[in-house]
Amino acid sequence: MKVGLFPGKFLPPHRGHITAILRAHALCDKLYVVISERSAEDTALCDDANLPHIAGVLRQRWLSQELQGLGIEVILQNDGNTPPFPQGWPDYSALLKQNTPEPFNLIFGGEESYRDGYNQYFPGTDYILLDPQRTQWPISGTAIRHKPYLHWDYIAGAARPFFARKVLITGPESCGKTTLTRKLAKVYCTSWSEELGRDYQEDVIGGNGDLFDLEDFNRIAHLQYEQDLVALRSANKVCFFDTDAVVTAFFSEVFLGEVATRVHSFINPNKYDLIIALKPTVPWIADGIRELGTQAERDHSFDKLMQLYQSCGFDANKVLIIDSPDYYQRLEACITAVDKLL
Ligand SMILES: NC(=O)c1ccc[n+]([C@@H]2O[C@H](COP(=O)([O-])OP(=O)(O)OC[C@H]3O[C@@H](n4cnc5c(N)ncnc54)[C@H](O)[C@@H]3O)[C@@H](O)[C@H]2O)c1
């Protein structure tokens, strides 16, 4: 019985890792992928690339998603207390033996320099080198961390939502949000998440806003959250969102005088890299569902919405207010801001 280990940091997982793991899988009966977590070092590597910390458990989720259905087990190991290599070999090897559920006789990797250590600390185990020149996928975790958008195609699919830039387009009714969101998604050849509250209003309460109850807003916030996740999964470097839970909170208050309780849990000030706030300076278009149509109401709605973002802890530096009444200039200003992000 050939039982193999494939150790690594996977910070983040990429096609080079995945291909090597799948090759290793073809060479043994059972394969364990072991993620080494060294919190302090990992944080330093992420900080250095201006990224939030990528926790080991997140990498475990990503690899588990990528490898599911193949019988490959993904294990997370805390190596934070082991000394750096080469002094770390004895502790590292003891941990590997302890954390792997069964005895193993193969170790896979792409580094020739690890061979002596593996031979010394895992007697009776073969070290099998796979594509050490990285000829098939010339990529490293370091390159991805520092230039994720340049190396986008190499990032494992499950990790892409983490790296995708998230751009929210917000504003009161009839300020061109939906059209602009779609246009931006087309410009960047990517996915977007449309506002579903309007469809919900038509489908569930027949378009009559007076029939809303608080539970409707809880459901809208949840459905929107799920839809956003779906859009993010197929994002190409950036994803656009036509609304967010702050807008849901705003409408909950407009219709019912209070914010439905669970809506708060979907408000996430850290979700977006850029918030494009559209001022109601373009003509009002009555569509039978919209409510707040006078210019005074529209201006008031905009101000109220901005106050809500502020009180929910959104970073004012990430907010770009677009007040031009000219559609061309609105689009150009957004493209400039998104280009800067990428
Ligand atoms: N740093 C050391 O001296 C040392 C020594 C012994 C063991 N280790 C341990 O070895 C493990 C691997 O660490 P790492 O930093 O190399 O992890 P890593 O996440 O960078 O890479 C994981 C494995 O994938 C291979 N790989 C990476 N990119 C590839 C590509 N494009 N194509 C094909 N293969 C590719 C690597 O060679 C490595 O074997 C960790 O568990 C670490 O603790 C490290």
pLDDT of residue 297: 86
SS3 at position 75: strand
Residues 211 and 264 placed together within one structural domain of the fold: yes
Domain span at residue 283 reads 164-341
Q: Indicate if the pLDDT at residue 71 is higher than 70.
A: yes
Residues 170 and 309 placed together within one structural domain of the fold: yes
Residue ID of nearest Cα to ligand 1 atom 37: 110
Tell me if 244 sits within 8 A of 170, measured CB to CB.
yes
Q: Indicate if the pLDDT at residue 72 is higher than 80.
A: yes
Tokens representing 230? 């779906």
213-233 mean pLDDT = 97
Tokens representing 167? 């751009």
Residue-level length of the chain:
342
The alpha carbon of 16 and the centre of ligand 1 are apart by a number of angstroms equal to: 11
Residue ID of nearest Cα to ligand 1 atom 12: 8
Residue 264 labeled ligand binder: no
Angle at 312 between CA 270 and CA 221, to 5 degrees: 75
Q: Indicate if the pLDDT at residue 286 is higher than 70.
A: no
Question: 158, 186, 207: which is the final residue of a domain?
Answer: 158
Which residue in the block uniquely carries the two structure tokens 């520092």?
146
**Total of domains in the chain:** 2
Tokens representing 22? 């799948």
Question: 158, 183, 210: which is the final residue of a domain?
Answer: 158
User: What does the alpha-carbon distance between residue 261 and residue 210 come to, in Å, rounded to a whole number?
Assistant: 19
Residue ID of nearest Cα to ligand 1 atom 25: 110
Q: What is the CATH number of the domain that holds 108?
A: 3.40.50.620
Residues 137 and 278 placed together within one structural domain of the fold: no
Answer yes or no: is the C-beta of 17 below 6 A from any ligand 1 atom: yes
Tens digit of each residue's pLDDT (9 = 90 or more) over 298-309: 899 999 999 999
User: What does the alpha-carbon distance between residue 307 and residue 1 come to, in Å, rounded to a whole number?
Assistant: 64
pLDDT of residue 319: 97
Answer yes or no: is the C-beta of 162 below 6 A from any ligand 1 atom: no
Which amino acid, one-letter code, is at 187? Answer: V
The alpha carbon of 232 and the centre of ligand 1 are apart by a number of angstroms equal to: 29
Residues 314 and 267 placed together within one structural domain of the fold: yes
Tens digit of each residue's pLDDT (9 = 90 or more) over 126-179: 999 999 999 999 999 999 999 999 999 999 999 999 999 999 999 988 788 999
Whether the complex's predicted ipTM is more than 0.85 is answered with yes
Q: Indicate if the pLDDT at residue 33 is higher than 90.
A: yes
Question: 158, 173, 197: which is the final residue of a domain?
Answer: 158
User: What does the alpha-carbon distance between residue 216 and residue 205 come to, in Å, rounded to a whole number?
Assistant: 9
Which one is predicted more confidently, 172 or 237?
237
DSSP state at residue 303:
H
Answer yes or no: is the C-beta of 91 below 6 A from any ligand 1 atom: no
pLDDT of residue 173: 82
pLDDT of residue 244: 97
Residue ID of nearest Cα to ligand 1 atom 30: 16
Tell me if 186 sits within 8 A of 236, measured CB to CB.
no
